[in-house]
Amino acid sequence: MHPKTTHLRSPLTRSAGALCAGALIVLAVGCGTGADHPGTRANGTEAGGTRAAAPAKPVRTAPAGLPGMPPVLDPKDIYAADRPGQLSPAVRKFPSRVYVPNTNSNTVSVIDPTTYKVVETIPVGIQPQHVVPSWDLKTLWVNNNRGHTLTPINPANGKPGEPVEVHDPYNLYFTPNGRHAVVMASLDRELVFRDPRTMNRVKTTPVSCYGVNHADFSANGRYFIVSCEFSGELLKVDTERMTVVAQQKLPFEGAMPQDVKISPDGKTFYIADMMAHGVWVLDGEKFTTPRLMPTGEGAHGLYVSRDSKEMYIPNRGEGSISIFDFTKNKLTKKWWLPDGGSPDMGGVSADGKVLWLSGRYDAEVYAIDTRTGKQLARIPVGDGPHGLAVYPQPGRYSLGHTGVFR
């Protein structure tokens, strides 16, 4: 068990291990079935018209997807585009790297995953929290939370560009159709919708909860679920209208929800909670009270395997990773880091063989074999490593965070 449980996120806030950390793919317009909007078929008669047909049963049809959203590849698996080796032509020539934002050092460490060595250290703004792939996959945005800027990095050569002024960018997402970037302005208590390329403000949506930080989108992209870590709440947001349509308090005193992830079948949202020491299981459509699935102390990140069968759940407070099996609908394994650690945010390698996680309180990064749970490397980086991005990864477009691809 790791002894450290607090970390300074800003001059205004100190939370017990807080600070961190979706998923869409649309059901194709007018196809498939779902549980959203019931419809009816007209009654008829048999061929001769001599006997009335039995009353038709209601037919449930899935609502149309978010306008402009790329069509789903597989209605049964929204992660179907994330298989090993399925790199978009836009990223195939990018060198494979792991980009690590060091919150307290104001730098990004760049790791070569083949050698497990830091090959470059990039100075960025104040308190970088996450490295976020853009919707079109061409840019990596470093979220300089207290520096109030985004630093663009060109993943083709690893070179940073001129910072863009954006207030309180704790985390960053992109709508499934690529029309808007969504800035999680945690301390400002705002969701700020922006142009995804220029980052010019389009609409500001104030929220009454405190500490918006992570999100994921419904299968059809019509809404997304947001966690509010400092007030222990969840929001449901209409993507197209850019408005909060529902809000609830989690049923745990001191709840501190973090990363959010939707299941491969698009039916369930999972929300890691570092103070409830587990993962909330939520029906996003009904938005009823979720149930808690205990995983381990300081549950923080959520990452889906390349075959969509499992989800990796780093428990930051105890130095472990819990494994959830989607088909069996239960936890099946737990991996412990040798000599402890503070596994936080990260991502899965393009081939699916390595899980990369930042060691939040230990100035290090962990590389873990996804087949055995064995630690492959423990790499020293800057102080306070947080939302690292493994890049490039399979997928057609990015929903943001440390790399949520569809």
H or E, element range at 272: strand 269-273
- Strand segments, DSSP code E, in 23-106 are 33-39, 59-61, 97-102
pLDDT digits (tens, 9 = 90+) for 86-98: 999 999 999 999 9
How long, in residues, is the chain? 406
pLDDT digits (tens, 9 = 90+) for 20-74: 333 333 333 333 333 333 233 333 333 333 333 333 443 344 457 899 999 989 9
* pLDDT for the residue 47: 33
Q: In this model, does residue 17 exceed pLDDT 50?
A: no
* pTM of the entire predicted model: 0.85
Q: In this model, does residue 231 exceed pLDDT 70?
A: yes
Tokens of 61: 């049809």
Q: What single letter denotes the amino acid at residue 167?
A: H
Question: Distance of alpha carbon 180 from its chain centroid, rounded?
Answer: 16
Cβ–Cβ under 8 Å, residues 360 and 385 = yes
Mean pLDDT throughout 335-346?
97
How many whole angstroms separate alpha carbon 235 and alpha carbon 190? 12
pLDDT digits (tens, 9 = 90+) for 144-203: 999 999 999 999 999 999 999 999 999 999 999 999 999 999 999 999 999 999 999 999
How many whole angstroms separate alpha carbon 249 and alpha carbon 228? 9
Reference 318, options 298, 292, 293, 300; nearest CA is 298
Domains in the chain, start-ordered, CATH in brackets? 22-32+67-391 (2.130.10.10)
How many whole angstroms separate alpha carbon 177 and alpha carbon 339? 44
pLDDT digits (tens, 9 = 90+) for 244-303: 999 999 999 999 999 999 999 999 999 999 999 999 999 999 999 999 999 999 999 999
